[in-house]
Homo-oligomer: A and B are copies of this chain.
Amino acid sequence: MNGHNLAPINASSLFFTPLPPSHIVPPGKESHGRYMLTIPWNRVSGWGQPKIGPRQDLSFDPLAGVLQYAVTCFEGMKCYKTEQGDLRLFRPKKNFDRLKRSASRLGLPSEWDNDELLELFAKLMALEAPLVPNTDGSNLYIRPTLLETSEGFGIKEDAFAAEALLYVVTTLNLGLGLYGSAEGEGKGIKLDACKEFIRAWPGGTGSYKLGANYGTVNISKKPGYAMSLWLHGQEDFISEAGAMNVFIIKQAEDGFLEFITMSLNNGIVLPGVTRESIIELLTEHAEGEKDFPIDGMPKKIRVVQRDISMPEIIKGVEDGTLKGMFGCGTGVVVVQVGEIRYQGTTYKIPSNPLIKIIRDTMTGIQRGKIDEGRDWSFKVPEWNPEGKEGQPEEEVTAA
């Protein structure tokens, strides 16, 4: 499928269709972006012409791979508006690389030039710029999805999709409901530690962002809890909470404060971009290379990637060495965990002001208020074709 004659994603061939003058927002879809980006693919000619046009329903054959066999993967990204009014994406190529990895896991097309894709994303963002709010926590959430449109049926000699579609839609303020609502003493979200449903396991798909990892555990969530805390193994190791990575803050015997998060080694934890960014910032701070972007982080800290079990958390609550716990991810950015229900008992998790410092650092970088020195925050160029007649700039043909 990865032949050299297949057409690449080509941003310059974008076909743009403006909203019709009669455009109205469909009922129930008020929070959605008005436009969508679509790029079809097939194994004969490769990527087809990218199109940006009004958001609309998608049609599939009843036996399409996505409908029958869950051949779908996605990403979660956010577009922020700075105080100066420009738009920012946070480390977008990290998400593009992860989408390639997920696609490859499902036999979907996984080769494209991230710069071309970023140019198309930027144009979609620029079109929605008037919608993007510019307060902390507010955002335009971006959902790139790549799925099999061809028939995924019966026994095939090879496992690769014949036809696929990459599309991108947006929606306002995903995760805002949790943002900042859970800070300080006695607050934080409530997690239900789940032994009945196992989200991921070695040899499975937990480390890939596949739709199949999410719908299969929907029903585990109990009323009154923000999300489930996923456990695995006889030791009740933690993998994730809801769709977030998890950190605990723990006092080590040598006087260091440890930020501990699950290792990626066993393949059951999603390699989150927020997780990775927090690890990088804390590690550089610990190594003295640079101060943490926001004041208040002590010098004697250490980042540890290893398994964490529920018994370890309970022991830390009881002996006072557990100094806090938070989830992180694109949706919530960083959110404090307040309590965990586990085997019939509720454990209160101590709050820690460092969690807010980490969150303010992340949101500060995302909104361009803090320069972390690495170009993590991508500035979206302006583009305003609305009102112009959409035209293909170039015909796409298979080479």
* Chain A interface residues toward B at CB < 8 A: 29, 32, 36, 55, 57-63, 65-72, 74, 105-107, 143, 145, 147-148, 152-160, 167, 169, 171, 174-175, 177-178, 195-198, 201-205, 210-212, 214-216, 218-221, 223, 226-227, 242, 331
Contacts and interface: CB of A to CB of B under 8 A. Distances in A.
Contacts of A36: 62
Q: What's the number of copies of this chain in the assembled complex?
A: 2
B216 A210 contact: yes
A57 B57 contact: no
Contacts of A197: 203
Given A57-B61, A57-B62, A174-B154, A215 B212 contact: yes
Given A57-B60, A60-B57, A215 B67 contact: no
B158 A223 contact: yes
Contacts of A148: 215
A157 B224 CA distance: 8
Contact of A66 (B66, B152, B242): B66
Nearest to A56: B62
A108 B221 CA distance: 15
B205 A196 contact: no
Given A58-B62, A62-B57, A107 B219 contact: yes
B68 A214 contact: yes
A360 to B, nearest CB: 22
Contacts of A143: 62-63, 68, 153
Contact of A212 (B55, B70, B331): B70
Given A67-B72, A68-B211, A212-B216, 18 more contacts: A55-B62, A58-B62, A63-B171, A65-B215, A68-B215, A70-B210, A70-B215, A70-B216, A106-B215, A106-B219, A107-B218, A148-B215, A155-B177, A155-B178, A156-B221, A159-B218, A201-B204, A204-B216
A91 to B, nearest CB: 22
Contact of A70 (B174, B201, B214): B214
Contact of A227 (B147, B155, B331): B155
Contacts of A29: 61
A282 B57 CA distance: 50
B221 A216 contact: no
A202 to B, nearest CB: 7
A145 B153 CA distance: 13
A42 B247 CA distance: 39
A130 to B, nearest CB: 21
Contacts of A158: 221, 223
A389 B233 CA distance: 60
Contacts of A331: 154
Contacts of A152: 215, 218
A211 B58 contact: no
Contacts of A71: 215, 218
Given A59-B57, A74-B68, A211-B67, A171 B153 contact: yes
B211 A70 contact: yes
A55 B60 CA distance: 12
A201 B268 CA distance: 13
A65 B70 CA distance: 11
Contacts of A55: 62
Contacts of A210: 70, 216
Nearest to A226: B155
